[in-house]
Structure 1
Amino acid sequence: MLIIDKPAGLPVHRGPKGGANLEASFDALRFGLPRPPVLAHRLDKDTSGCLVLGRHRKATASLGLLFKHGKVGKTYWAVVEGGPGEDEGTIDMPLGRLNAERGWWQKPDPDGQKAVTTWKVRGRGDGLAWLALEPVTGRTHQLRVHTSAMGWPIVGDNIYGTQASLRRLRNEKFTPRFGEPILHLHSREIVIPISKNKEPVRVTAPAPEHMRERLRKCGWNGE
């Protein structure tokens, strides 16, 4: 497998309208194998950090099962507006599709799929909180919907964040505006148990440039 540090703002797949995407560069990551690597899981376009690729079919299938059965440890860093009153906790909130038009957007739904996130506050400052989030389940947009529903949306979230909600209330066209922050959600660490007889592979991605200013306000020391 390969674990790469995905930049924010770049989709992993080629969209219906084309454009730049991460998969287009996978041929350069063959390193002697006959085929390029394949995605073992997904990250949103605006999420940065650890992304796992399988180098061949058998590896991709094995990794897929690990992800499917929740064997892979995932820790995300997020900077949120406001923040929780406590220092750690668990969000157990089922999620369902928002509507048929936006099939990949989610909302809290008592009849939806089970979705569980654990969280810890790493720091606070300037009306923000720096959280370490661990998704127990892997639903689409889970971390973004959970934090928003709890009243502390992720900074720069152009779907579930504060500014996005205000735009929808005003019925404004849904497009990010120039100068607004990029989504402050980063796949910080991934832990993969690839063998029963060896320690799991643990990889950490450095904090991306666009999150560093607000992380520092919350007490991050640069490590």
Structure 2
Amino acid sequence: MTDPGHDPSDIRIIHEDERFVVVDKPAGLLSVPGRGHDKADCVASRVLDLYPAASGPMIVHRLDMDTSGLIVLGLDRGAQRHLSVEFQKRRVEKHYIALVDGSVESEAGEIDLPLRVDWPNRPRQIVCFESGKPAVTRFRVLARETDRTRLRLEPVTGRTHQLRVHMADPRGLGRPILGDTLYAMDAARDDHPRLMLHAAKLCFRPPGKRKMMDFVSQPPF
């Protein structure tokens, strides 16, 4: 059950039908429960409270707690299985909007840096060419401001913290996402109320359908 201090209706429903639901996750909310009662409130528990007849694990993919934006959940085992396969086979189009520190010179590009967990400093991830898992991110500049750049990010793979590391690491873009408490430093980390990263678009083939469907959410920054 959802923590009684939280109203499950606080979560914004973008789309719902009998097979799946797309929600707009606020920053600061877990995708799935963590360890301990204080980490029980999450997208999965709120959706289950709203759809008590739902069966199966529901969760298909996750967003970091500090990232806002679109998440799709299956409302039955068949829907969850179908959607999971779509993600695993990389047939889902995902776009994120990010504000990064400083000016990005290239109009567009691709970052290919393998990642693994930084075990002594979990949950941080690091670039590792010896034992890291393949990780690829495409980026495009949307707008440049005085001290920041607005980007559209398209993760080809879906590694933990992939976008955050690829933006911050000097072998990637070298421009950390503003408000990132793990990978940014000084003002880029401290002068912003949240991580400036939002899952803005999902495009996938729904369970039982032949045509792709688009879902869009405007970033709150």
Fold conserved between structures, TM > 0.5: yes
Matched with 1:204 is 216
TM-fit CA distance, 1:101: 4.8
Matched with 2:3 is none
Secondary structure of 1:10 counterpart: coil
d(CA) in 2 for partners of 1:88, 1:70: 21
Q: Which moved more, 1:49-58 or 1:191-200?
A: 191-200
Deviations, residues 138-163 of structure 1 (Å, cap 9, x unaligned): 10000000000121000000001123
Matching of residues 53-132 of structure 1 within 5 Å: 53-102=73-122, 104-111=123-130, 112-132=132-152
Deviations, residues 158-196 of structure 1 (Å, cap 9, x unaligned): 00112399xxxxxxxxxx97x742000000000002379
d(CA) in 2 for partners of 1:60, 1:36: 7
Indicate whether 1:156 and 2:189 are aligned.
Answer: no
d(CA) in 2 for partners of 1:34, 1:195: 15
Q: 1:141 aligns with which of 161, 167, 171?
A: 161
Residues 74 and 187 of structure 1 are in contact (CA less than 8 Å); yes or no, is this contact kept in structure 2?
A: yes
Number of equivalences: 196
Residue type of the partner of 1:25? R
Identity over aligned pairs, percent: 36
d(CA) in 1 for partners of 2:164, 2:118: 13
- Gaps (5+ residues) in structure 1? 166-175, 212-223
Specify whether residues 67 and 85 from structure 1 end up closer, same or farther in structure 2 by C-alpha distance, changes over 3 A only. same
Between the two structures, name the one with larger relative contact order (CA 8 Å, sep ≥ 6): 1
Residue type of the partner of 2:211? E
Q: Which consecutive aligned stretches of 4+ in structure 1 deviate over 4 angstroms post-superposition?
A: none
TM-score by length of 1: 0.81
Residue type of the partner of 2:197? L
d(CA) in 2 for partners of 1:181, 1:57: 38
Residues 5 and 50 of structure 1 are in contact (CA less than 8 Å); yes or no, is this contact kept in structure 2?
A: yes
Cα RMSD for the two superposed structures: 2.3
d(CA) in 1 for partners of 2:54, 2:35: 27
Matched with 1:26 is 47
TM-fit CA distance, 1:34: 5.0
Matched with 2:31 is 12
Residues 54 and 76 of structure 2 are in contact (CA less than 8 Å); yes or no, is this contact kept in structure 1?
A: no
TM-fit CA distance, 1:35: 3.4
- Gaps (5+ residues) in structure 2? 1-19
